[in-house]
Structure 1
Amino acid sequence: MSPLGYEYTTEDISPSKISLVPILRSGLSMLDALQALLPSSVSVHHLGMYREKSTLQPVEYYNNLPYHSQGDETGASELAIIVDPIIATGSTVCAAIDTLRDWGVSRILSISILASEGGLRRAAEAWPEGVELWVGGVDVGTDERGMIRPGLGDIGDRLFLTLGK
């Protein structure tokens, strides 16, 4: 029951079958808050991705998803929660979805603060039956650099004070 008296369904998943997957660097800004919301500790596996400036395509430079083989009991998480504050073009979250599907997750929840309409649409089409997208707000579009308009700028640069590099 919600604080306002509305009933809602919940799902009981073992914490060992849930993973938080922040996209480096900007996803780190949301990690502590999400961990504080969960009733139990869960694994954190980082994906390092950046957008190549001329093509706006994602480049994966780091992946610490645990390796597993067929029949391995630990395997992939049932639920992977992608943590990235911005979905601009949708390329990065789509690449993360592909990586997590290849790892073998059953479901993905992507949590973002802001998205563009086109980026959100693209992400929703990546794996419609396996992905839920939660966003706090949606701006209309992106500029020629792939940044959301009016947007928030590069969260990783803002978080680590590396603006202009």
Structure 2
Amino acid sequence: MYIHNLSKENSILNSFISEIRDVTKQKGGMRFRRNIERIGEVLGYELSKTLNFQTKTITTPLGLCEMDVYNNEVVLCSILRAGIPLHNGLLNYFDTAENAFISAYRHHKENPESFEIIVEYLACPDLNNKTLILADPMLATGQSMIATFEALQSFGTPESLHLISVIGSQEGVDFVASKFPESTHLWIGAIDKTLNAKGYIVPGLGDAGDLSFGEKLQK
């Protein structure tokens, strides 16, 4: 797997990530969602540099102009509900992309420190020979990414695969690297060292879904 950790270079991205981590700034849902969206835009821009480009002749009001534009058929797939702001940021840049959505969530059994990933709702176009961008803001254990990719298998085989995350744990990154095809690209804003006993990234930022949309009742 090709791992693109954008925190290794200084950029405005670090400012957005610092705000979503900061307990004094992350409490306003709209600001938190907008920062996730902006992070998606930055990650999407960096990803776009690896796409296929072809030269097209563009007619302007004053003449003709040759431009190199990407020609990949892109499908954006996000994991509900936390992935919605990240999806919107990517869609701002890949505005002609097809879209897929999947619900993958942690189901805690009797032991609150153990869980399984449950996949329920799934809507997806044909993936054959397309560029699949799979987005999940928090790459903690990596199990949600794996479960989502497995659920998408019946929709076809993409030509190329990109994973997008805002923050990940080293353990989660290592896990998906061992499970996804070697040609997969991971674009990530920051990689933290550890997970706690409940499988949350430390220092991380907390629950991205709750911070975006409010706390949920556990069933």
TM range (shorter): 0.7 to 0.9
The structure carrying a bigger helix percent of its residues is 2
How many angstroms apart in 1 are the aligned matches of 2:181 and 2:188? 16
Change (3 A) 1:44 1:145: same
Higher relative contact order (CA 8 A, sep 6+): 2
Mean CA deviation greater in 57-66 or 133-142: 57-66
How many residue pairs get matched?
149
Tell me the CA shift for residue 56 of structure 1.
2.6
Q: Is the 8 A contact 1:157 1:163 kept in 2?
A: yes
Q: Deviations over 1:37-80 (max 9, x none)?
A: 22x411111011101224332110111124xxxxxxx5535111
Match 2:122 to one of 41, 54, 63: 63
TM-score normalised by length of structure 1: 0.80
Match 2:133 to one of 71, 81, 99: 81
Q: Does 1:26 align with 2:82?
A: yes
Match 2:104 to one of 38, 49, 58: 49
How many angstroms apart in 1 are the aligned matches of 2:129 and 2:212? 28
Q: What is the match of residue 114 of structure 1?
A: 167
Structure 1 spans left out of the alignment, 5+ residues: 1-7, 67-73
Change (3 A) 1:75 1:50: closer
Tell me the CA shift for residue 95 of structure 1.
1.2
How many angstroms apart in 2 are the aligned matches of 1:112 and 1:61? 21
TM-score normalised by length of structure 2: 0.61
Change (3 A) 1:9 1:60: closer
Rg comparison, structure with higher value: 2
Q: Deviations over 1:81-120 (max 9, x none)?
A: 1111110001001112222334223222111110000001
Q: Which runs of 4+ in 1 moved over 6 A?
A: none
Q: Deviations over 1:109-151 (max 9, x none)?
A: 1111100000011011112324211111011111111100111
How many angstroms apart in 2 are the aligned matches of 1:94 and 1:9? 23
Change (3 A) 1:76 1:9: closer
Structure 2 spans left out of the alignment, 5+ residues: 1-48, 54-69
Percent of residue pairs bearing the same amino acid type: 28
Match 1:145 to one of 195, 198, 201: 198
Change (3 A) 1:138 1:94: same
Q: Does 1:93 align with 2:145?
A: yes
How many angstroms apart in 1 are the aligned matches of 2:213 and 2:207? 10
Partner secondary structure for residue 161 of structure 2: strand
Give the CA RMSD over aligned residues: 2.1
How many angstroms apart in 1 are the aligned matches of 2:207 and 2:76? 21
